[in-house]
Amino acid sequence: MKNRLAAASLFLAFLFSSCSKQLNIYPHSAASSSNLSSGDMELLLTGVYSVVQNAPGPQSYIMNDMVGGNLISARGTGGALVLINGILRPEQSLISSAWDGYYKALYQVNELLKATGTGNTTGRVKEIEGIAHFFRAYLYYDLVTKWGDVPLLKENTSDKLSRTPQAEVWAFIESELNAAIADAPDFSSYYYVSKDAAKALMARVELAQGKNSDAVKWAEEVINSESFHLDSYDKIFRAQQNQEEIFAFLNTTVESSVNISTLFYTYAQANKGSYVYAPASDVMSMYDDADLRKDISISVVGTDPIINKYPSGQAGTDPIIVSRLGEMYLISAEAQGSSGLNRLNDLRRFRGLPDVTPADDAGYQDAVMLERRKELLAEGFRWFDLVRWGKAKSVLGLSDMQLKFPIPEDELVLNNLLKQNPGY
């Protein structure tokens, strides 16, 4: 009897011993957000590069080619318009994943700016802020060119927001880029944001708004910089050190979920690909044989035409170029009007082509437009270029509503302050 009472009381002691402290369990791969300090800023900055690179998803980088007539569905059903009509729909997941991705990335940038705002404003903190301002401008450029008026967040909020008029968004982008040009670090590697990256983006922003003289100014500033020279496609698109790139995401395989190459390569190629998008037939015929860009830009595998700028297939990922000098030449050439012919021919000569001598302004503009299409194929320019030039309807057969992207349906359902773009 004694024994069993002793044994029982021993276990009863267990019974009433609380384990409630054992209920405090914390993750091994994350830390509480309230513990962030200014010392974590470099880590957050690296995180911003990672999120901005990854969040919008692979198709976002070539979306303007997909809806701009450069690409069609692979294995040939339907022309460019069939693909475009399939994508420009409010319920299309490619639309929402791009929208969601830009805002997810913006959230991290804003968190970084919140963190730097609490630290000491030493030289490096200023630089980090400059980089953050660049990324905000970069994200809003994508948002405003695709959707027009978009919610503008200068700091994070979970409140419902209505769409800010695009003029205000453009002004914000410019002010962000001015901050970036002032504070971002000097150019050292094109895999990091620099003052020159901000200038190159500024040139693009000014051109988009029709501020041609400013566009020329920024483009020429970059062209005349010691850091950059036109370089061969072999280097640019085969991830070799080159002098052409101004800013690109490194997009290494282990750090990235953005695999563009698998969308273009086929299973018949050595490193495979799921072959989702193929170049349209007019893309296949637009390069002269002498054009040094041709074989790197397009190819034919078996009987299947492919885009060849992203060479890793299914096996890996390739760097994603944001700005390179070729674009600066074309911006300068376009914004100067026919007096920019030298810049156009500079580029053509470097790419192995003879000079052109357009008869008139319209001919010059056509020449610039064609060159731009050839130079920047599958780099995410075409649709907005056509929209900018007022050619989207005549060239592609788009309807009026298709000059803007639809606001994703999921977002409209969740935020009744948003109004859909007309027509959708």
Interface with another protein in residues 147-176 (CB under 8 A): 151, 153, 156-158, 160-161
Choice between 121 and 189, CB closer to another protein: 189
Closest distance of CB 341 from another protein, Å: 34
Choice between 30 and 359, CB closer to another protein: 30
Task: Out of 188, 254, 289, 359, name the contact with another protein by CB under 8 A.
Answer: 254
The CA dihedral of 126, 143, 53, 408, to the nearest 10 degrees, is 140
Residue 243 as a binder of another protein (CB under 8 A): the answer is no
The radius of gyration of the chain from alpha carbons, rounded to an integer in Å, stands at: 25
Contact between residue 61 and residue 320 where contact means Cβ atoms under 8 Å apart: yes
Choice between 221 and 410, CB closer to another protein: 410
In our burial notation (b when 16+ CB lie closer than 10 A, e otherwise), range 371-397 reads: bbbbbbbbbbbbbbbbbbeeebeebbe
Question: Which 3 state secondary structure label does DSSP give 164?
Answer: strand
Contact between residue 308 and residue 297 where contact means Cβ atoms under 8 Å apart: yes
Question: Which 3 state secondary structure label does DSSP give 95?
Answer: helix
> Residue 104 belongs to what H/E stretch?
helix 93-118
Residue 214 as a binder of another protein (CB under 8 A): the answer is no
Closest distance of CB 92 from another protein, Å: 10
Distance, in Å, from the CA atom of 176 to the CA atom of 160, rounded to the nearest integer, reads 23
Pair of tokens at residue 170: 């453009």
Choice between 326 and 406, CB closer to another protein: 406
Residue 182 as a binder of another protein (CB under 8 A): the answer is no
Residue 61 as a binder of another protein (CB under 8 A): the answer is no
Residues numbered 70-89 forming contacts with another protein, rule: CB under 8 A: 75-79, 82, 85-86, 89
Closest distance of CB 168 from another protein, Å: 16
Choice between 138 and 381, CB closer to another protein: 138
Distance, in Å, from the CA atom of 46 to the CA atom of 40, rounded to the nearest integer, reads 10
Closest distance of CB 15 from another protein, Å: 4
Q: Which stretch binds another protein (CB under 8 A): 60-68, 230-238, 266-274, 383-391?
A: 266-274
Beta-carbon contacts of 309 under 8 Å, excluding residues fewer than 6 positions away, are: 237, 264, 296, 297, 377, 378, 379
Residue 202 as a binder of another protein (CB under 8 A): the answer is no
Which ranges constitute the DSSP H helices of 119-241? 123-147, 166-183, 195-208, 212-223, 233-236
Say which residue the tokens 């690909």 belong to: 273
Question: Which 3 state secondary structure label does DSSP give 70?
Answer: coil
Residue 413 as a binder of another protein (CB under 8 A): the answer is yes
Closest distance of CB 189 from another protein, Å: 9
Residues numbered 94-113 forming contacts with another protein, rule: CB under 8 A: 96, 99-100, 103-104, 106-108, 110-111
Distance, in Å, from the CA atom of 197 to the CA atom of 200, rounded to the nearest integer, reads 5
| Site string (9-48) toward another protein, x via CB under 8 A | --xx-xxx-xxx-xxxxxxxxxxxxxxx---x--xxxxxx
Closest distance of CB 80 from another protein, Å: 9
Residue 313 as a binder of another protein (CB under 8 A): the answer is yes
Phi/psi-derived region of residue 361, left when phi > 0, alpha when psi is between -120 and 50, beta in every other case: alpha
Residues numbered 371-400 forming contacts with another protein, rule: CB under 8 A: none
Distance, in Å, from the CA atom of 247 to the CA atom of 199, rounded to the nearest integer, reads 11
Q: Which stretch binds another protein (CB under 8 A): 91-99, 226-234, 291-299, 329-337?
A: 91-99
Q: Which stretch binds another protein (CB under 8 A): 210-218, 296-304, 321-329, 362-370?
A: 296-304
Task: Out of 214, 221, 291, 409, name the contact with another protein by CB under 8 A.
Answer: 409
How many chain residues interact with another protein (CB under 8 A)? 99
